């Protein structure tokens, strides 16, 4: 029934009239438990560098990172995701620094786990911070990113992180077969508790621009692109195939990235597989919201919380977001 007499048969606005009934029928909730906080770490002591294209985000040396981690713990944020800024002389064609047990990431992991054993530490498994050309894998003479040769390095990198104490390794490289190879190596080496968060549906997105500035890989990559391994933004069915493969190969958690423009993919993945599903509100999404807020064009607090709630509504179990600390503060207030 749509109309009865002169009045609407159904009044959707009745439930929206008062705060109590709006609260009673609210379908999604956002809490600090939903956040993973991505952080940029660099060498040195007492070092803080602003990331120009991401106002409010800083690269931090390990000692400063520990202060940030303390804030995250206090706010109830479950986990940090570490991204290293590797000094140029350590970058190479073979990305050897990626599996140096004394490298920046393993040292940061050890410091974090020692200071905050209960805080989850997630590390990125990909070679782009370590290669002189800024690609996520090893390349041949034509510049093509080699799959199977890259896998050998990724396995060493993942093991190195796990041995340093990383709770979760997150392959973000999009090579074929990496999850299976990493899982097998972790099992064989007794790292049976290390979780794998697979960047399963990772798109070749222009929204990663500010991140590449933050880790300093933009200059190395130059005019290069990642089209031969990251997914085409036009595709949805292919994302489901990627997720299916990663689950089969041993992923504990899967991710869709970027976030806001890809919420349809989050929903499809969650509906199809029902596994722990995460989304990454990436650097470009952060930069857009920040820029508009700084111009007074958007209400930052309201828009941040709305954008994060939308991930929950789409089916995400958690969100990697540079707004994690701010959002957790807002939710407390």
Residues serving a catalytic function are 202, 257
Shortest CB 272 distance to ligand PBG, Å:
24
What number of residues does the chain have? 333
Retrieve residue 70's tokens.
Answer: 């303390």
Residue selected from 30, 51, 95, 126 as contacting ligand PBG according to rule CB under 6 A? 126
Residue selected from 40, 130, 208, 311 as contacting ligand PBG according to rule CB under 6 A? 208
Return the number of other C-beta atoms located less than 10 Å from residue 173's C-beta: 26
Residue selected from 130, 211, 229, 323 as contacting ligand PBG according to rule CB under 6 A? 211
Shortest CB 27 distance to ligand PBG, Å:
28
Q: DSSP secondary structure string, 29-64?
A: ---GGGEEEEEEEESSSS-EEE-TTSTT-EEEEHHH
Nearer to ligand PBG among residue 97 and residue 128 (C-beta): 128
Q: How far is CA 154 from CA 224, 249, 328, in A?
A: 21, 15, 33
Output the CA torsion sign for 284, 290, 293, 295: negative
Q: Footprint of ligand PBG on residues 134-193 (CB under 6 A)?
A: 136, 172-173
Angle, helices 263-273/300-314, rounded to nearest 10 degrees: 30
Which residues fall within 8 angstroms of residue 166, CB to CB, at 6 or more apart?
109, 121, 122, 123, 194
Nearer to ligand PBG among residue 115 and residue 261 (C-beta): 261
Shortest CB 153 distance to ligand PBG, Å:
13
Strands (E) in the chain, as ranges, are 3-4, 7-8, 35-42, 48-50, 58-61, 79-84, 120-125, 168-171, 195-202, 253-257, 277-281, 318-321
Q: Which range touches ligand PBG (CB under 6 A), out of 86-94, 101-109, 206-214, 247-255?
A: 206-214
Shortest CB 172 distance to ligand PBG, Å:
4
Q: What angle do CA 206, 33, 165 make, to 5 degrees?
A: 80
Residue indicated by tokens 């003479």: 141
Nearer to ligand PBG among residue 215 and residue 310 (C-beta): 215
Shortest CB 126 distance to ligand PBG, Å:
3
Q: How far is CA 120 from CA 26, 167, 258, in A?
A: 29, 6, 22
Residue selected from 166, 282, 308, 324 as contacting ligand PBG according to rule CB under 6 A? 282
Which residues fall within 8 angstroms of residue 195, CB to CB, at 6 or more apart?
167, 168, 169, 252, 253
If phi > 0 it is left, if psi is from -120 to 50 it is alpha, else beta; for residue 279 that is: beta
Shortest CB 159 distance to ligand PBG, Å:
18
Q: Footprint of ligand PBG on residues 61-120 (CB under 6 A)?
A: none
Strands (E) in 203-266, as ranges, are 253-257
Establish if 290 lies at the interface with ligand PBG (CB under 6 A).
no
Q: Which range touches ligand PBG (CB under 6 A), out of 18-26, 110-118, 204-212, 310-318?
A: 204-212
Residue selected from 34, 97, 124, 163 as contacting ligand PBG according to rule CB under 6 A? 124
Nearer to ligand PBG among residue 212 and residue 270 (C-beta): 212
Q: Which residue is nearest to ligand PBG (CB)?
A: 211
Instruction: Please give the size of the binding site for ligand PBG, defined by CB under 6 A.
Output: 11
Residue selected from 283, 314, 319, 321 as contacting ligand PBG according to rule CB under 6 A? 283
Shortest CB 173 distance to ligand PBG, Å:
6
Question: Contact residues for ligand PBG (CB under 6 A)?
Answer: 124, 126, 128, 136, 172-173, 208, 211-212, 282-283
């Amino acid at each position: 029934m749509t109309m009865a007499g002169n009045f609407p048969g159904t009044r959707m606005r009745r439930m929206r009239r008062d705060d109590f009934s709006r609260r009673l029928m609210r379908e999604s909730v956002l809490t600090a438990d939903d956040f993973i906080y991505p952080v940029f770490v660099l060498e040195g002591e007492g070092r803080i560098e602003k990331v120009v294209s991401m106002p409010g985000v800083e690269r931090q040396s390990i000692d400063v990172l520990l202060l940030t981690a303390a804030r995250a713990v206090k706010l109830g944020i479950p986990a940090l995701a570490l991204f290293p800024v590797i000094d140029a002389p350590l970058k190479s064609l073979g990305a050897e620094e990626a599996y140096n047990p004394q490298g920046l990431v393993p040292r940061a992991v050890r410091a974090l786990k020692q200071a905050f054993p209960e805080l989850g530490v997630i590390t990125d498994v990909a070679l782009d911070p370590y290669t002189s050309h800024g690609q996520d894998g090893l390349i041949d003479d034509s510049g093509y990113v080699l799959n199977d040769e890259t896998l050998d390095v990724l396995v060493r990198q993942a093991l190195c992180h796990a041995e340093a104490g990383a709770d979760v390794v997150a392959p973000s490289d999009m090579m074929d077969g990496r999850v299976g190879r990493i899982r097998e190596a972790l099992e064989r080496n007794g790292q049976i508790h290390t979780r794998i968060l697979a960047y399963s549906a990772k798109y070749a997105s222009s929204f990663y621009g500010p991140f590449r500035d933050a880790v300093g890989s933009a200059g190395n990559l130059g005019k290069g692109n990642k089209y031969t391994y990251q997914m085409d933004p036009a595709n949805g069915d292919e994302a489901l195939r990627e997720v299916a493969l990663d689950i089969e190969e041993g992923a504990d958690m899967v991710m869709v990235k970027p976030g806001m423009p890809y919420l349809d993919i989050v929903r499809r993945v969650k509906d199809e597989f029902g596994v722990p599903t995460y989304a990454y509100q990436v650097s470009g999404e952060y930069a857009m919201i920040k820029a508009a807020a700084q111009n007074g064009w958007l209400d930052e607090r309201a828009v941040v919380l709305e954008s994060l709630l939308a991930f929950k509504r789409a089916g995400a179990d958690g969100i990697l977001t540079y707004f994690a600390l701010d959002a957790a503060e807002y939710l407390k207030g």
